[in-house]
Amino acid sequence: MSLIYLLAGSVLGVSVMVLINAWLGISRPARLVDLDDAARRLDADRVGFDAGEGVLAVDGAAALIAERSGDCLGLLVARGSDLVIRYLVPGSVRDAVVEEGSAVRLRLNDFVFAPARLRFSTADEASLWAGRLSDLQPVARA
Amino acid sequence: MEVPAFVQNWNPITLAIPFFTLSVFAEMVHARLTGKTRFETRDTAASLIMGLGNNVSGIIFGLLLGGWSVFVYDNRLLDISFAWWVWVIAFVFDDFLYYWSHRFAHTVRWFWADHVVHHSSQHYNLTTALRQPWISPFTLKFLWLGSAMVFLGFHPAMVAFVGALNLIYQFWIHTEAIKRCPAWFEAVFNTPSHHRVHHATNPIYLDRNYAGIFIIWDKMFGTFQEERDDEPCRYGIVKNLGTFNPVKICLHEWMGIVKDMAGAKSLKDAALYLLAPPGWSPDGSRETSKTIKAKWQARKDKAAEAEAEAAE
């Protein structure tokens, strides 16, 4: 019985700590300043990442930058107060769907990467990058 | 052999829980007042749930581990007493074994699958200390490294006690709130500064500072790296998770191993997917700490050469 009380107390303690974290307002969402900022982060993350053309989400919460060699597409997505980086190659993308005109819902073939929503400035831009991302879907076998 | 009463009656970790809780609150308030420490609510929740799950798993697997300890102790090499000086030796020896166990946890993917949980936060605060795995016995390290002291003849209760002290020590070093400790302390003990290096993914910091309590082991075995003011730590793992889901945090590397082994082209490749360093692949297409460090060093050398030429 005491074990159950201990467990219940622990769950309560964890909940209180999380609530206090939220209440104190100490979480600040990660945002990219500009494309140079995104390129710098990619270079720091993968030594020698040679940034080519790219796009920054309007809210600064994501960016896509192609490697100049064409080998991969660098993706940065804000997850809470940090950015998560992926290097997308053929087969990495499960689907990239344009939603609400200028947003793209991106899902990867990656167990730990929760779906992301990239907000672009125009519908054309969203459509263009959704197309480029869709090119990285696995090739269907005949 | 009679076990001292204080070992039977005190569980250091249970006693430390109020200290852990108050320290986390204090660090959150410090973050609010100074902005020097970073917290993310979902990350905090994930770390604390991982810590809670680790305790539950300790209860579930406790019988198995306890039974194994008794079996090993029954077949021990020596009879070692509870004299005060034995406690000192046990404390230091346990930390020495921790260093090697921890080093293997970073350099053998099988063990990394378990330990990666602790490194999977991109934050470095006291809740990160509590982010612990749920299925550690699956590494089977308890069969050998975890049993070495008991096999020698140290009583299991003594080994558990000094191990708990080691864990408690390591709690307070998971913070950005303390920049540097006095020089003499930094020279001998593991500190927040040394351990920040351990949690960082900057190439210069990868696979460094494995110490638990005494940083001297890293200095002795060539794995020490000082924190540099010109190289701020970037925390997490080489491929950071994009999720706060505790189940995925717990299982992701195990699943990666199973997937890689199932798709391996030979038995040797399958074995190396399990036993080689994290990031190993047969064609070298993935990156290990070693290859990342080599690339970084090559770029640094090239930049230094270019600078020297320009100066001439």
What number is the ipTM of this complex?
0.91
Q: Which of B31, B45, B299 sits opposite A26 (nearest CB)?
A: B31
pLDDT of residue B13: 84
Instruction: Reply yes or no on whether the pLDDT at A141 is more than 60.
Output: no
Q: Which whole number is the average pLDDT over B151-163?
A: 95
Contact state of A80 with B39 under an 8 Å Cβ cutoff:
no
Contacts of A22 in chain B (CB under 8 A): 41
Give the pLDDT of residue A1: 56
Give the gap in angstroms from C-alpha A25 to the nearest C-alpha of chain B: 7
Per-position DSSP letters for B219-266, written without gaps between them: HHTT------TTS---BS-SS--B---HHHHHHHHHHHHHHHHHT-SS
B34 touching A, CB under 8 A?
no
pTM comes to 0.93
% of chain B at pLDDT higher than 70: 100
Using CA coordinates, name the residue in chain B closest to A113.
B242
For the stretch B1-30, pLDDT in tens is 788 888 888 888 888 888 999 999 999 999
Domain map (residue ranges) of chain A: 35-134
Q: Does B302 touch chain A (CB under 8 A)?
A: no
Out of B28, B56, B256, the one facing A24 most closely (by C-beta) is B28
**Residue-by-residue DSSP string for chain A:** -HHHHHHHHHHHHHHHHHHHHHHHT--------SHHHHHHHHHHHSTT--EEEEEE-TTSSEEEEEETTSS-EEEEEEETTEEEEEEE-TT-EEEEEEETTTEEEEEES-TTB--EEEEPSSHHHHHHHHHHHHTTSPPPP-
Is B254 a residue whose pLDDT tops 70?
yes
> Domain residue spans in chain B?
5-220
CATH fold, domain A35-134, is PH-domain like (2.30.29)
Contact criterion met (CB < 8 Å) for A14 and B243: no
pLDDT of residue A100: 83
Stretch B116-140: mean pLDDT: 97
Q: Is the CB of residue B26 less than 8 Å away from at least one CB of chain A?
A: no
Asked if B236's CB is within 8 angstroms of A82's CB, the reply is yes
pLDDT of B141 strictly over 60: yes
- A74-91: average pLDDT: 95
Asked if pLDDT for residue A142 goes beyond 60, the answer is no
pLDDT at B267 over 80: yes
